[in-house]
Homo-oligomer: A and B are copies of this chain.
């Protein structure tokens, strides 16, 4: 399947080892800038996706541009972090050594699906062979955080605004050499369904048992990234803030929030926002039959545009 003899990593980024089935693998030491009850680990996952796309597609995603030289960004459209097989992002701490296996497949057109399996280095699961794509989607590798990122290339359509981003293709980008995601696992469907329904709720689910409406103003001092867009990891921070707000409204202490484990995080990105934009946020929650909280969060710009929808499944100790 491989036609590129791309270097396994760029100067200044940690090197990969590439296996025969096109999984890229490396070890990462967890530092203070990579973990905690914040979105730093999520930010790392995003960088790892960009690294894996760079290695798989023979381009530099950090400097991608269209044929006219206008910047093109590898945007996150759907981001899932499943952590219910024995390792969660919340338990990662300084000095942990992780083995990260990453694979990029085509999901049609210029869009890409990147999968990461994150395990503790030395764990048995980290020593076994990498799964196929179908195997990944069983989410059953023990002690493994399963991450899927659906990415598309975008650029600004107007100067000095993050509204109205449009699709674009970087010069020299090719994905036709990549394995194609099986229809059953296409992130395109998940993304389209969540957009259509304005969330992940299905009609069969119980009605929300708690809810809250909030406002959040996008901050020029904390939320944007190095190209001035609302940073994809900030969406997770804003969602976590909404979840914490709901938590407090239910009389639960910060301690129990800090002790929670998020078994599944899903986030669909539908638009971007500018500094000072005020977001209307709706957060609702119900408890599933396993006793875990299922929390849905919807972010809208005040011009009515849907910014993002998210779902988290959260395990926590009600006595903490």
Contacts and interface: CB of A to CB of B under 8 A. Distances in A.
B31 A220 contact: no
Contacts of A50: 31-32
Given A11-B27, A29-B11, A50-B32, A94 B221 contact: no
A37 B233 contact: no
A102 to B, nearest CB: 15
A112 B35 CA distance: 24
A12 B27 contact: yes
Contact of A244 (B37, B38, B219, B241): B219
Contacts of A275: 254-255, 257-258
Given A32-B47, A43-B32, A231-B36, A244 B221 contact: yes
Interface in A221-245: 221-228, 231-233, 237, 240-241, 243-244
Contacts of A237: 221-222
A291 B64 CA distance: 38
A187 interface: no
A40 B43 contact: yes
A17 interface: no
26 contacts: A10-B29, A12-B26, A12-B28, A12-B97, A29-B62, A32-B46, A33-B33, A33-B40, A33-B43, A35-B225, A36-B225, A37-B221, A37-B228, A40-B43, A62-B94, A62-B95, A63-B94, A93-B226, A93-B227, A219-B241, A220-B254, A221-B241, A221-B243, A221-B257, A254-B276, A255-B275
Interface of A: 10-14, 26-40, 43-44, 46-47, 50, 60, 62-63, 92-95, 97-98, 121, 160, 219-228, 231-233, 237, 240-241, 243-244, 254-255, 257-258, 274-276
